[in-house]
Amino acid sequence: MRVRRALSSDCPALASIATLAFAADLSYEHFFPRRSQYPEDFYNYLLNDYKRMIVTPGELIMLVELDDSDELDSPEAKGQGERAQVVAFATFIRSGATAEQLAKWNADSAGKRVERWLLYLQGVYASIVRPNRAVSYAAINDFLTQAYAIHASTPYSGKLDFKTLAVHPAYQRRGFGERLMEFCGYKAYAEAIPVFGDATAKGLPLYLRNGGKEIGRIVLKEQIIQLAGKSEPVKLERLETPVLRWDASWASPERLEKMGAQLAAR
């Protein structure tokens, strides 16, 4: 396996993994309450978000890719007739940084500026001609507002937001998420900045095991959703999501330097 920076050409695979990984996630149920009715809209939202991140300074997607030394097909994947090459990814946003520091994560260029503008225009056009039917922008905005307020309750001058960790369901519990956590830990250590993130029930044990400390909770309010073709509305229960902070000392310097050497070798 190898860890590498995601490219624009990887975005369809990333969106596919995310739709599978978060199909039963309760937070994503609040963010995309109609995703089961409009799966293509759910996929397209994620696809466009990842495309935007690829061309935005300071934003980064790292993925885990299988190579010839790996057992390519898990029993689950074989049963589904699948073969996944990209099996996991994580998204990051570096903030409170200079342009030079942001460039270390994702340097800007004329081509990226043009791509951002085109993505913006495409988004405006789509919002008018065919609005996304799966998403609840209100729920996402409320979630982010609460998350950033909790981040601000602890001191920092710059930070790394660990936004998303997704592993293909057929390849979970094989250390791929742990490898992406190692990348996050090494980068935070190298720049002496804290990491902030939120955790699903499935992801919380991994985060706590790797030094995350809970600093607050986001509360997603109960929602009543009327689904197309359903006579009775659906209630989404109130949900609390832990917010965590990792500091640069979450692992020993020796371990982090070893991680850096391993990542550089890949």
Say whether pLDDT at 121 is over 70: yes
Q: What is the mean pLDDT of residues 193-199?
A: 92
Say whether pLDDT at 238 is over 90: yes
Say whether pLDDT at 45 is over 80: yes
Phi, psi of 108 (to 5 degrees): -80, 165
* pLDDT confidence bin for 109, thresholds 50/70/90: very high
What is the predicted pLDDT for the residue at 80?
47
Q: Range with the lowest mean pLDDT among 86-95, 104-113, 146-155, 257-266?
A: 257-266
What is the predicted pLDDT for the residue at 252?
60
* pLDDT confidence bin for 63, thresholds 50/70/90: very high
Is-above-0.95 flag for pTM?
Answer: no
pLDDT tens, 67-84? 766 665 555 555 444 445
